[in-house]
Every structure is written in structure tokens, then in C-alpha cells.
Amino acid sequence: MRVSKLITNYTYLSDTDLASLANRTTDALRANTNFPDLAPPFTVYEPLALGFVAIQAITANGRASGQQKEEKDEARDALLVVVLLYSG
């Protein structure tokens, strides 16, 4: 029997998996009226999530500059901080 689990720690996810999760959650929550009081607020989460998705797409091919990799790491950290801050 499968047991559902609530994941609250996303630090172990690869950049690709985190970008996929961020993209799916923004798409799912954008027009969802079932959660009127989201934590974090969608206006805070959406720019961080989509920013990480965009910079991850740029750096995914392996030919990114050092600055682009640093920007991706900063975007990842910012997204994880917001998710972890509001998950507990």
C-alpha cells in the first residue's frame, strides 16, 4: 500500500527537479480559488519560482558563465528560503 508523504524539505532536489516543481506549482496555483490565503503569498512566490526556472534553463546546457551559475545558485537559495520559511 502506498503511503502519501508531505515533503517540506526541497534542498535535496536537483536544479532540474526544483525548476519543474516551481513551474508546476505556479501553473497550478495561478488560477486556483481553493487557496485564497497562501503561505507564502503567491505574489512573493511566483517571481522567485519563475526567476529560478528562467535562470536554470539558461544554465542547464553546461556552458554557463561563472556569473550565470552564481545567479542560479542565488535564485535557488532564495526560492528554497521562501518555501522553507513558510512550510513550518
The pTM is what?
0.82
- How many domains is the chain partitioned into structurally? 1
Asked whether residue 88 carries a pLDDT value surpassing 80, the answer given is no
Gap between the Cα atoms of 45 and 4, Å rounded:
25
Predicted confidence at residue 77, as pLDDT, reads 95
Average pLDDT, the chain: 87
Predicted confidence at residue 70, as pLDDT, reads 95
Question: Among residues 22, 14, 76, which one has the least CA distance to residue 45?
Answer: 22
Specify whether the CB–CB gap between 44 and 38 falls below 8 A: no
DSSP assigned state of 40: S
End-to-end CA distance of the chain: 28
Q: What is the mean pLDDT of residues 18-41?
A: 85
Task: Give the whole-number percent of the chain exceeding pLDDT 70.
Answer: 98
Predicted confidence at residue 87, as pLDDT, reads 67
Gap between the Cα atoms of 56 and 35, Å rounded:
28
Domain enclosing residue 66, as ranges = 15-87
With respect to residue 6, please indicate whether it lies within any of the assigned structural domains: no
Predicted confidence at residue 30, as pLDDT, reads 85
